[in-house]
Structure 1
Amino acid sequence: MSEEELQHLIRASQKGDLQSFRALHARFVGRTYGVCLRLLADAQKAEDACQETFIKVWQQLHRFRGDSSFSTWLHSIATRTAIDLLRKERKLHLVDAGEADDYPDSPAPEPCEDLEKAIASLPARARAVFVLFALEGYTHPEISKLLGIAEGSSKAHYHRARQLLQERFRE
């Protein structure tokens, strides 16, 4: 999709054209879901956050002025939505490590799966900072504004996440 086509869809959606909004949704739903999944580490919660994100986008589309790219604006809404869900939950529902012994015939996980599980096992705030910085390319000042924490705290959470991941892979 060209930038011109994207701008046309955005303008039409801002005027209430549902078909244009559906096209925007189709274009960006995959990446939006991916962001939510990496932050929430739960497929169902990620689907819920993704859906909530697009509801918010539809409701707030008139506020999009184009100061940043549409994908950046959408990404920030998705990130805030997922983080808000994390705040509400305050609990991580992770698989108990002892349960893995119940499945001795399971194939060995792929390295990518190991990394995804390791990231999912991080404490919620450290995981959010790690995903935003290392995977999504946000800077620490941007993360601090997005999460409502000090820039130094963002750096500390990132450092802690890296330490925990390194420890996990040394085992």
Structure 2
Amino acid sequence: MALSFFLPARVGNASSAESLLAYFSRTGQRRYLEQLVAQCGDDLYYFLLKQSDEKMAEEICQQSWLKVLEKHQSFQGNSSFKTWLFTIARNCLLDEFRRQQRWQLLDLEEEVSVANEKWHDDVMLQISQHRQQLLFEQQLKLLPFAQREALILQLEGFSLSEIAAITSQPIETVKSRLRYARQFLQQFCGADNE
């Protein structure tokens, strides 16, 4: 229809958050607010959860939506609705941290210390895993092509029958290749651990 751009957009799941807020502000109908919560609620909760705990995230989430209800007329459209919502939530979260005096220096020092220890442990684990991966890849290259191919396909999640189809070999041949590949790698791992 040529004049369809004059008609208001049909409000549904595909409506933008900004248009839902505008419809809610104009009509006061709860369904528009429910659609806003459906569109942005999970993202808001996970944003808050990553910075606090479950209980606080739930509380701040509720406070944020209550502030949206109170201040929906003040949304200027200078940013997206989601940006405005997350700003409200962040401010509520900071207020709660201040109320609980989470910004005290001792708490921050403890958090930094714990974070540094965790970071160090994570880095050491990653280095160890990377070293094991490199050793495995080196040993994998020592396998004959057919055994290496079968093992890699199995590691990619293919079943025996799928590997047989890919390599045009009988299933028993694939089983043998996998068995020899595993024996070789187990010898390497056993020698490495001693």
Q: TM-score, normalised by structure 1?
A: 0.53
- The higher-RCO structure (CA 8 Å, 6+ apart) is 1
Q: Which amino acid in the other structure matches residue 88 of structure 1?
A: R
User: Deviation of residue 77 (structure 1)?
Assistant: 0.4
User: Deviation of residue 126 (structure 1)?
Assistant: 10
Q: Which amino acid in the other structure matches residue 50 of structure 2?
A: R
Q: 2:93 aligns with which of 82, 88, 96?
A: 82
Contact 1:9-1:23 at 8 Å conserved across structures: yes
Structure 1 stretches of at least 4 aligned residues deviating more than 2 Å after TM superposition? 4-8, 123-127, 163-169
Deviation per residue, 1:3-51 (Å, 9 max, x gap): x5433311111122211011101111111111211222x1011101101
Q: Distance in 2 between matches of 1:126 and 1:170?
A: 15
CA 1:70–1:169: 2 relative to 1, 3 Å: same
Q: Structure 1: which 5+ residue stretches go unaligned?
A: 93-122, 128-160
Larger Rg computed on CA atoms = 2
Q: 1:22 aligns with which of 27, 34, 41?
A: 34
Q: 1:169 aligns with which of 105, 116, 119?
A: 119
Q: TM-score, normalised by structure 2?
A: 0.47
1:39 match: secondary structure? coil
Number of residue pairs matched by the alignment: 106
Q: Distance in 1 between matches of 2:31 and 2:42?
A: 18
Q: Distance in 2 between matches of 1:80 and 1:124?
A: 19
Deviation per residue, 1:70-123 (Å, 9 max, x gap): 11000100111111111111259xxxxxxxxxxxxxxxxxxxxxxxxxxxxxx5
User: Deviation of residue 124 (structure 1)?
Assistant: 5.9
CA 1:170–1:5: 2 relative to 1, 3 Å: closer
1:45 aligns with 2:56: yes
Identity of aligned residues (%): 25
Q: Structure 2: which 5+ residue stretches go unaligned?
A: 1-12, 122-194
Aligned-residue CA RMSD (Å): 2.9
